[in-house]
Amino acid sequence: MFEYLYGTIDYKKLDYIALDINGVGYKIFISLREYENLEVGKKYRFYIYNHIKEDTNKLIGFLNMRDRKLFEQLLKTKGIGVSLALAILSTFSYDRIVELITSEDYKNLKRVPKLGEKKAQLLILDLKSKLKDIEISKTSSTGKFEMIDDLVLALESLGYNKKEIDKILDKNDISKFTSIEEAIKEVLKKIKQ
């Protein structure tokens, strides 16, 4: 099972990309929102959900941990499978999904193709209490992968491009830091040297 895969996008189709990692191509299914933000020839880290059934093995990729966690929570709702969970994440952003669920707005939620009124209401009932867990894990940043996400966002906001950020991540052992603040401080010190 993979936690994440890091490589170069060889090509992309509407619902998946081919990620080249040292000459091996991985077919990773993605949401339409992810598709719009990806460029062929660039390196990305995808947090992976490995969907295994009797006759299939699919890798579903997300650019950040919180989307993957939300996807996993969606799958726990009765009647929501991989395709429908991806359709939900393709239709709405993470923040919009949280807003729709907390405000119990099933009418807008049912705009997702194949998500009828009953499933939308069931989804709201099921996820409303679970969203607190997702939000807590997002903001705590205790996991190393969340710290990497936060560090990437911080470096992007400071004007570093993806290529520079990848080099920075490759040269620094992020796992040794105990907080995002410490990681940013130490990484910036090393960059200035």
Place of tokens 């960059």: 191
pLDDT digits (tens, 9 = 90+) for 64-104: 999 999 999 999 998 999 999 999 999 998 888 988 898 89
pLDDT at site 137: 44
Domains of the chain: 4-62 (2.40.50.140), 66-137 (1.10.150.20), 141-192 (no CATH)
Residue ranges of the chain with per-residue pLDDT less than 50: 136-142
pLDDT at site 11: 97
pLDDT at site 30: 96
pLDDT at site 61: 97
pLDDT at site 134: 59
Q: Which residues contact 95 (CB under 8 A, 6 or more apart)?
A: none
pLDDT at site 190: 78
